[in-house]
A = this chain, B = another copy of it.
Amino acid sequence: MSIHKSEIVKILKSKGLRVTPQRFAVYANLRSRGDHPTAEQILTDLNKNTPTSSQATVYSALQTLREVNLIREVLLQEGVSRYDANVTPHHHFRCRQCEKIEDIDWDAFQSINLNSLRPGLTVDSYEITVQGLCEKCQ
């Protein structure tokens, strides 16, 4: 669960991208938290003690990290983009009350049989989104 600094360095460099403190900080922040924060939450968090990144830089870093597949965007709330450092396939649980989003292991569900899909469609991936209430919001 620790951040393999060498790995992010390798991935960025292999694409001809620079490893800046800001990019690293954004990635590290995203990895260290269990939720799926918005760009603004990351920005606030990074600058809590000392100024680390500007707003534009956080947005740009998120875009870059997404392009090299170090992070991904999750579409679980209207209006804002949320990010996830877990790029392995998994599902999501979303609390309809507090809007918290929690990962669900891929193996928690049996796999879906996609053969009954209309022919002509090519499938890349799928994902299950479960909605409900978390324990705090019961």
Contacts and interface: CB of A to CB of B under 8 A. Distances in A.
A88 interface: no
Nearest to A133: B122
B127 A129 contact: yes
A93 interface: yes
A81 interface: yes
A113 interface: yes
Interface residues of A, number: 35
Interface stretch (A1-9, A19-27, A40-48, A70-78): A70-78
Instruction: Kindly report how many copies of this chain are found in the complex they form together.
Output: 2
Contact of A129 (B78, B120, B126, B138): B126
B75 A78 contact: yes
A117 B114 CA distance: 22
Interface string A90-120: 0001001000000010001110111011001
11 contacts: A78-B81, A109-B113, A110-B113, A120-B134, A121-B130, A121-B134, A122-B138, A124-B131, A125-B131, A126-B130, A127-B131
